Amino acid sequence: MTSEAALISDIHGNLQALEAVIADFRERGITECVCLGDIVGYGGNPVECLERVREVCQHSLLGNHDAFASSDDDFSDLKEGVRKSLLWTRAQLHDEQREWLRHRPLTLDGGDYEAVHASQHKPADWTYMLQAGDAAQHFKHQPSPCASSATRISQRCGSRIWMPLWIPPAWKTCARTKNK
């Protein structure tokens, strides 16, 4: 097991940013990569980003945009711009890619850390942690250090690690610690 892992998230089809992030963590000697989700959505390269994440990351979680783009939903309840983006993204993906996205887990138990795209409290609800109370609910359900891409505030992550949980997508690194 390595001492550091690259945690990437919210790629949203931005291939240029993804390639820059991969080059950066490889230059740092980091070989383990975990994607916290939202590989697709908004950006112009959903297929290329999905394939690159599949190639580079040992684990990949389901993000809300991944779930939406791989579903058969009509998105009538979403804002018009988001709906159009997701319908376009869905049309770009092959059936096998949509199937792969559908089968991504919501959470990851990495042994000495946990990862989730949204809140650990209710990961399938895609809840953003916008205030300290939201984060407190998340942390109640967290037995070990955890990374989430759905927060917009900095918080203590577990009992032995401090990391800003919201860094402009898509680059995060998390030094691993064993809970003692």
pLDDT at residue 117 is higher than 90: no
Class of the 4-175 domain?
Answer: alpha beta
Report d(CA 104, CA 26) in Å as an integer. Answer: 24
Burial of 33 (0-12, 13-18, 19+ CB in 10 A): buried
Burial of 88 (0-12, 13-18, 19+ CB in 10 A): middle
Q: What is the pLDDT of residue 127?
A: 73
pLDDT confidence of 141, banded at 50, 70, 90? low
Q: What does the DSSP 8-state code read for residue 43?
A: S
Encode pLDDT of 27-70 as tens digits.
989 888 999 999 999 999 999 999 999 999 999 999 999 999 99
